Every structure is written in structure tokens, then in C-alpha cells.
Amino acid sequence: MKEIKKIILKRNEQGITLIALVITIIVLLILAGVSIAMITGENGILTQAQRAKTETENAQAVEEDRLNEYEDYINDAIGIVTGGEWNEEKGVNAPTLKGNMELVRYENGEWVKDETGSNYSYVAGSETADNNNSEWANARVTVDGIESYFVWIPRYEYKIDSDNHTIDVKFIPTTQTTADSGYIIHPAFTNDVNNGGWDSELSGIWVGKYETSLVKKSDKSNVVTNSSEEGNILLSNNTDIAIAIQPGLSSWRYCTIGNQYTNAREYAENLNSHMLKNSEWGAVAYLTHSQYGRNGTEVTINNSSKYITGSAGNSVSAEVDVGIINDYTRSQGVLASSTGNVYGVYDLSGGASESVATYYNEGNNLISYGGSFAAQKKDSTKYATSYTGMVENLDYKLGDATYETNAWNGDYGVHFIDSDRPFFIRGGFCEDALQSGIFEFFIFTGNPGRMTLRMCLVIE
């Protein structure tokens, strides 16, 4: 009996051990399932960790954006300016930048920030062949959330050969205020408002890369202006419309010259924004024609009947819409540029003729159309130039690309501003064929017609 009892007890002990093992395994499986759920479930540790990581990264991005905005605001508010000094290696004054401006380069089909701030060149061509090698400095400016593009025109002196229709340019530092023998410091860069200059000596100016257009802030779509009802507006009264200087847009037309002037001044007052003056048009034209631009080769016409910026016909005198392309980067498109490549200024010939902030101060229509800047007997300012006499009295100004270069390239330049038509327009229209060009000038009343404008920035 004792042996039998021992066997039964032994079996019971084994049974209890097996049951305990099974229970233990079951408990472990349950705990494992709970642990896995705690780790990988919707509210699990890993999920929560990943969510926290994502939220942290998003918060850092938001913080970085805010810091960038604060930095831009501070730069604008306290007036931090970089550049303007003489660059010995480049042989030009370095581009000036302020606030929300950045130098850009064209790479892989898009404009990207120039991280080095020095990837530009002003290279002289040889003899009279088209240059195509200068890569003028370009900047991207963001105002009202809209990107616009500008081209740096460095301070220079020039010498004109009237017989051979050539212009020789020498870049000079801001400290040089006396021209070399036989040269003239271009008035657009000088401390002389009466002759189209500024109220200080300038290292250079930023000129709109294209004619000026309008877009909606909300969706960036182009605002097309085919009438004075659409175009003759003040942007301060239109909260969803902003200026854009970009390729592929219909340029802004049908605005009085007075409203053009006001809108341009209000675009970016901290950057001294204004509509181009006659002297500043001349500064671009002379550099374009010089050895640092097209070296005497004429700029191809923008012959777009829809006034699309950056367009180009198939010749310098193409009739309206003949052979046109709207891609400013293609081999035909770059011939409408001041450099013969993507780094120059476009729409200088044709497109919509451009009003400039220059006037004859005895004009009859000054108050009617240009009262915001050109009243009777008003003197010149750094934003607008007054002409005090007509051409019969030889009152043209040096550097303004009128009588110094009259009829060069066959460009039209017969009429000078007078009392009835006291304002200049430049470049010609899309249908003007051979008569349009960088040396073309004509006169008008200042009324809201097909004229557009070009922007200019001066960073002090």
C-alpha cells in the first residue's frame, strides 16, 4: 500500500507541474500580447514615440520658418545692407542686398539660391562678335508672398563712338567720382538728381528682369489688363493683387503714368522701389550694347501680341507673333536678353512700350495723368527726372539713350517730349518690328494706354 501511495503522490506532483507550466505559458502569452499591443498599438509606445518625433520635427520647422520671418523683418526694420563694395576679382561693385533679397543662379531648369554669393560674372566680349558670356548677377525678391526677379547693373563709366555706334564701358568703384579721360560716369549712378541720378553716389542699381505684371496673392494667377477698368488701379486699394516680375505673364497695361509711379513706389519702400527713370533705362541700354552685354548685337524683339513677358520672335525685326516662342531659356529666347543668355534683362525691345519716370515740366497733361510726381515747375527728385526745355534747346541728358544714340540699330527716336506729350515711353511695341529696340523712344500724354512699366530698386 505504501508503494502504491507513493506512486499516486508522484503522479499528482507531476500533474501539478504540467498544469503550472501550461498556466505559466498561457500567462506569458497573454503578457506578451499585452506588451506587443502596448508597444505597437494605436496608443502604443512605438506609435506614441513616432508621433512625438513627427510633432517635434513639425514644431521645429514652424519655429524655423518663424525665425526666418523674424530675421527678414529685423533686416528690413534695422536696414541691414550687404554688398556694394568693390570686388577686385570680379572687377565690379558687389551686388547690394537687403532684407528678403537673395542672389540666385540658374541650375537644372530653375533659379536656386547662390549659396556663395559670388557666382556671377561681367565678361567683356572681343571685337564686335555677340558676347553671350556675361552672367550678370540676379536676385530674387519676395514681396507680399510673390517672387520677383531683378538684375544688377553695376556702376560704370562709358565712352561713345558715334561714327561706329559702339559703347565702351569701364566698371568703377563708388569712391571714383571723376571720370577717366574721354569717359563719362553714367549719371544714373551719381549724386545728381537733376541729371537722372540719386542723392548719393551709387554702387549700382537693381532693374526688373522683365516687364511688370500683376498676380493674385491668393492663387498666384496672372491678372490680365486689357482695359483701363482692369489696369488703372492703385494696389493699395486691392488687397488680393500684387506686383510680379516673372516670365510667362501678361504685362500690366492701361494704367496712368501717375498711378504707375505711385504703385511702384509703394511696392517695396524699404528698397527704394520706383519705376525706371529715363537715365536708368539708358544705363541698361548702354551696358547691353557694350562689350559686357551683346557687344553691338541688337536684342531680339518680344513680338507677343498678348504681351507675354520673356517672349521672343525669330529675329530682331519679326512682325507681331511671327516665329514667336514663350520660353526665355531656349536658344531663341535668350537672344531677347541683354546678355544673350538667361542672366540678362528681357523685354527691352517690343512687348508693351514702357513708361519712365521722366517728364517735361511745362507739359499740359502733367496734373491730369502724372500729378503724383510731375506737377507744374516741379524739380527733379531721385525717383523722377524733370526736363526743363525741348530738344531745340539741346536739353537732352547724357546717358539717357536718346540723342547720344539716336536711330542706332534703326530704332525709332524722332519726337522729343513737349508741352502736349510730356512723358517718355521706351523700347517700342510688339508690332513695331525694326523700329523697336533699346534705343527707341517716343512721347505720350501719360494716359492709361498699352504702356507698362519696369521696376527699379536702389539699396543704400
Could you report the per-residue pLDDT of 108-126, keeping only the tens digit for each?
Answer: 999 999 999 999 999 999 9
CATH of range 124-133+140-457; options 2.60.120, 2.40.230, 3.30.870, 3.90.1580: 3.90.1580
Q: Say whether 155 sits in a helix, a strand or coil.
A: coil
Apex CA 232: angle with CA 228 and CA 238, to 5°?
130
CB distance 302 to 454 below 8 Å: no
Reported as a single tens digit per residue, the pLDDT across 279-336 is: 999 999 999 999 999 999 999 999 999 999 999 999 999 999 999 999 999 999 999 9
Q: Say whether 205 sits in a helix, a strand or coil.
A: strand
C-alpha pair distances (Å), 3 with each of 9, 11, 15: 10, 12, 18
Q: Is the pLDDT of residue 199 over 60?
A: yes
pTM score, two decimals?
0.83
Give the model's pLDDT for residue 48: 67
Q: Which amino acid belongs to residue 326?
A: N
Cα separation of the two ends of the chain:
116
Cβ atoms < 10 Å from Cβ of 224: 16
CB distance 307 to 210 below 8 Å: no
Written as nine digits, the cell of 284 is 541698361
Q: Say whether 159 sits in a helix, a strand or coil.
A: strand
8-state DSSP, 120 = -
Written as nine digits, the cell of 178 is 571723376
Give the model's pLDDT for residue 417: 86
Quote the mean pLDDT of the chain.
Answer: 89
Q: Is the pLDDT of residue 143 over 90?
A: yes
Q: Say whether 153 sits in a helix, a strand or coil.
A: strand
C-alpha pair distances (Å), 293 with each of 9, 299, 330: 109, 10, 18
Domain boundaries in the chain?
1-34, 124-133+140-457
Written as nine digits, the cell of 347 is 523685354
State the Cα torsion 20-26-29-31 to the nearest 10°: -80
Written as nine digits, the cell of 450 is 498699352
